[in-house]
A and B are shown apart, each in its own frame.
Chain A
Amino acid sequence: MSTPALDGTAGDPGRTVRVVIVDDHAIFRSGLKADLDPRIEVVGEAGTVEQAIEVIGRTRPEVVLLDVHLPGGLGGGGREVIAGSAALRGTTKFLALSVSDAAEDVVAVIRAGARGYVTKTISGAEITDAVYRVAGGDAVFSPRLAGFVLDAFGTAPADIADDELDKLSARELEVMRLIARGYSYKEVAKELFISIKTVETHVSAVLRKLQLSSRHELTKWAAERRLL
């Protein structure tokens, strides 16, 4: 799946970013390493939950490219790695990577604390861009993730009376819709006559809501949908 939302300005493209790749398929790890931009330094690799927690704790990378489905641990996969690396929260950021686009996988790993979600068929340039974006503290939303968010929160904007975590504001809805339609952050900014920074702020706010909302519909929704 392509993720055209990821082009344009991202973080600070000049500097080197230290990443750890966590995936149980060695072939995929080496392929991803070859695909990544040379400015991205792969400081460690891991294939299981235990290895991942150990490697992340030792190397303290800026970004972890994290497969959602991992062997080992208690069977929690990527979620468990994020939970096991809680001590590094704030310095290390997680970008979830998966072949699955089942809703419950996506939403579970985002709610565990990942800053974004991309599918494995994404190109090397796109994933480089996503790494920079996550390293810079922004969220990475693929069109499909935006679709999940719209489906989960509903497409009606929040009233003042609503709990702000349970609904998206009208502006956030607009941004999510455009991302779901395949717009890049830059194109969203152009379409809505706002700056890219503002788009990033909206996206981060949506991510926060997705992570923090206790809206029971959200979990129920995620459990009900096996596929979208």
Chain B
Amino acid sequence: MTTVPVRPPLVRSSDRIIAGVCAGLAEHLGWPVRMVRIGMAVAALAGGAGLVFYGWLWIMVPTADESAKRNARRPASPIAPAVSIAPAVSMPPNQSAAVGPSLWSDAYSPGYPSGPVAPPLGGPAAAGPVGYSSAANPAPSGPYVAGAPSQAEGTAAVPGTGAWFRVRNMRYGKEILLGAGLLLVAAILIARLLGVEVPLGTLIPAAAILGGAAIAWMQLDETRRAGLVDKTKADQAGGWARLAAGLALVVAGVLVMVSGSGSWEQTWLALLASVAVLGGVALVLLPWGLKFWRDLETERAGRVRETERAEIAAHLHDSVLQTLALIQRRAANEHDVVRLARAQERELRGWLFRDPARDAGQLSDRIKAAAAEVEDGLGNAVDVVSVGDTAMTDRHEALVQASREAMLNASRHGGGPVSVYLEVSDGGAEVFVKDRGSGFELHTVPADRLGVRESIIGRMKRHGGSAEINSSPDGTEVRLKLPAAAEDNGEGKS
């Protein structure tokens, strides 16, 4: 298998003289472009075969852009199997045993809809409770977090791959069909040349019927495949055109076949009669058809809603209900309750307001993560306000580490909530960490305590920044400043 060289897909190249066919072909076959072009020109001289071939490729082969667009739409389809297999992935009741009976069953009943629930392809379930797992009592979360996503994925993966095979097999269906048709025509022509009598009068209408039916059926399959996922207007228009073409072909084929002779008068009459009958039938069946269609649409919308609901229910179950259960058990310990509530709030906010378009790993994300870590560790609220953002570099890493150290100190010695402010501008990044403790004098800190001197001031200086500590009886503020380096000045700033 692996010895077969992987060819780049056949697409029309943007490096073009006429339509980019030759360059695309050359790339696909791994031949030099010049050779392909010359070959094509020579073939064009040989009775125009090259021209025909070129034209055919021009029509059949998509440009690189079109191809990319078409492929980009494909990954959306695995959602459809997830919807259709929903009944298969209901949570097995025996899982409650693995988790701890009281915790699970209490939390289970209010959060889940009574119907089957499919965590869609392990998404939210796998995302899991971020703050939760690092919280005080991770024991009950262990088996569930580890068990459930794998279960969901295990069941979901099988139909998913099945659908993919089908899609893959269908991909060249059109081309194969067209080739078969052309071969058939060629065979007939050759047969006639050799003097064999071919009953064209029967063959042509039969071919028309077959072709029309194929076109219409292909359309049906494709709608089913794209199904619930995307129904753009353009697709639908194309679908209707295809359906109409298929219908016209089949009707014409049937007419010619039935009327036999193919005389225009008879055909015309038959056509009129059949259209009249079809119209009558349509008139009678239309109300039912419309009702059926509307029911289908409602059911479809309902199923989409149900999936969304299931996703939300699954997430709430994984995170909020578990935390609430934990809070009930530890109600006596105020410190733990506050810490759990804060961690859960943070996690839920992250989930509700997450922006999938934003790439992770920005400076503000790292600062917020550091604050969350300090908050979890010491149980003291750390509020982050950020203005502007930038992509992380090694120097920013140092800034994050120094900020983290400052937050730790503020949280440990300050008491009360800690305010963190990050500002990124063209001039650089600044972080302010403020607490409301009783303050301290830097020179009274023993020389062997490395926290402030080394981890904050020294680290910032080594990376070309500066740190300043301002302490008064009202509180302490650490100011970290990292000027923008010459080369990344303003770059990546949003």
Contact = CB atoms under 8 A, between A and B. Distances in A.
Contact of A4 (B417, B421, B423, B425): B417
Interface in A1-34: 1-2, 4
Nearest to A146: B385
B434 interface: yes
B387 A226 contact: no
A181 B434 contact: yes
A175 B477 CA distance: 16
B474 A144 contact: no
B423 A2 contact: no
B425 A155 contact: yes
B264 interface: no
Interface in B311-350: 349
Contacts of B354: 226-227
Contacts of A228: 386
B387 A155 contact: yes
Interface in A88-128: 101-102
B421 A182 contact: yes
A78 interface: no
Contacts of B448: none
Interface of B: 349, 353-355, 381, 383, 385-388, 416-417, 419, 421, 423, 425, 432, 434, 436, 474, 477
Nearest to A155: B425
Give me the 9 closest cross-chain CB pairs, A-B, nearest first: A182-B419, A227-B353, A147-B385, A2-B417, A181-B421, A182-B434, A181-B432, A150-B387, A226-B355
A2 B434 contact: no
B410 to A, nearest CB: 10
B367 to A, nearest CB: 12
A177 B479 CA distance: 13
29 contacts: A1-B381, A4-B419, A101-B349, A102-B353, A143-B419, A143-B421, A144-B383, A146-B385, A147-B387, A147-B421, A150-B423, A151-B388, A155-B388, A155-B425, A177-B421, A177-B423, A180-B421, A181-B421, A181-B434, A181-B477, A182-B383, A182-B421, A182-B432, A182-B434, A187-B474, A226-B353, A227-B349, A227-B355, A228-B386
Given A151-B387, A155-B423, A181-B419, 16 more contacts: A1-B381, A2-B383, A143-B385, A143-B419, A143-B421, A147-B385, A147-B386, A147-B387, A180-B385, A180-B423, A181-B434, A181-B477, A182-B432, A182-B434, A226-B355, A227-B355
Contacts of B381: 1-2
Instruction: Identify which of A102, A181, A187 gathers the most chain B CB atoms within 10 Å of its CB.
Output: A181
A127 to B, nearest CB: 15
B16 to A, nearest CB: 38
B132 to A, nearest CB: 19
A228 B416 CA distance: 23
Given A147-B421, A155-B423, A227-B354, A180 B477 contact: no
A60 B434 CA distance: 40
A226 to B, nearest CB: 5
